[in-house]
Amino acid sequence: MRILVVDDSALYRKLLTEAASSLPEAEAVAVSSGEFALRRLETEKFDLVLLDLFMEGMSGAEVLEKIKASHPKLPVVMVSGATGRDAEITMGCLAKGAIEFIAKPIGASFEAGMEILKADIRKAASLARLLRTTAAPTSPAPAAPAQPVAFKRLQPPPFLDLLLVGVSTGGPLALSKIIPLLSAKIPVPILLVQHMPAGFTKSLAEQLDKSSELTIKEAAEGDLAVPGQLLIAPGGFHMEVQRNEAGKFRVHLTSAPPVHSCRPSVDVLFDSAGKCDLRGAIAVVLTGMGSDGADGVASLKAACPTWCIAQDAATCTVYGMPQAVAQRDLHDEILPLQEIGPRLNKLFRL
């Protein structure tokens, strides 16, 4: 695997190159500017680009745009800090085709920071390898459901109380195509889990809010979930939905152990919704690695009338989470990305 490191800081070029070169059978090449990177890409083949967010001259976002125009299938991972401004621009890059982001090492321990950086680059390389080997990356077949699944529905439930969404790798891009199409008149609360670390989900919520009729915010403990609003699980916390004494939906955040190595986890949200005595729910499972969400859909279908939409393979960045749902025949519809927003409006008769 050939990895192109693009960073105008000599220190970070060295750190990123050393971390990338530690991967088995990996060769890292470093350049100091976006202009140099684009020139190398004209004449050499690379399997992954690690691209600094802020650089003198051409910014990381500008370089990403040019790479996507000339090399649309080349995986690009943004390298950024975790400040508010960095997070905001990183979310914009993910919505424009970057497959993932990793944080620059910080903290007092150099050794610990390098180990985290190596692990992050290893994950990015695995994702790039997955994307390179097949147009529709697959995940291992999930285990059989632990409990019986309710029968497959012939039509959506007539009464609906919640709209639940789960997404991972490729999420910001997928959400930027779906959320702006949703009507503010959707008569139920919308709760969403995007696999993302702390510090970035707030920026994701703010960016989506600017492009949507809905009110979109990062969820906080005790928030009421109301129609016309979309709440995003904060990075680093599981989000559960509960009913209060008045029968209203409220958010409960927990620091329980990760599920499927994820916190927040889609399964945790879907499982909690199944305990809310719902008349009906819609569950949407979008692009992402792994199988998070499939167990949750199974438990939700066993608990209440549920209509499940899974994103199709062709429009997924990684066809893992929706595939896990489809492999267990938990889906009611499989739709391309561009059809999901209009379909959700139609399900609510809007």
Alpha carbon distances (Å) from 119 to 161, 336, 342: 41, 32, 39
Locate 317 and state its tokens.
Answer: 């960045």
Active site residue ranges: 168, 195, 292
Locate 130 and state its tokens.
Answer: 């997955």
Locate 46 and state its tokens.
Answer: 């690379």
Compute the half-sphere exposure of residue 298: CA atoms within 13 Å on the CB side of its CA.
Answer: 20
CA dist., res. 317 & res. 279, Å (int) = 33
Which stretches within the chain are classed as H helix?
A: 10-21, 34-43, 60-70, 84-95, 110-133, 171-178, 201-210, 266-273, 294-303, 321-327, 337-347
Which stretches within 227-304 are classed as H helix?
A: 266-273, 294-303
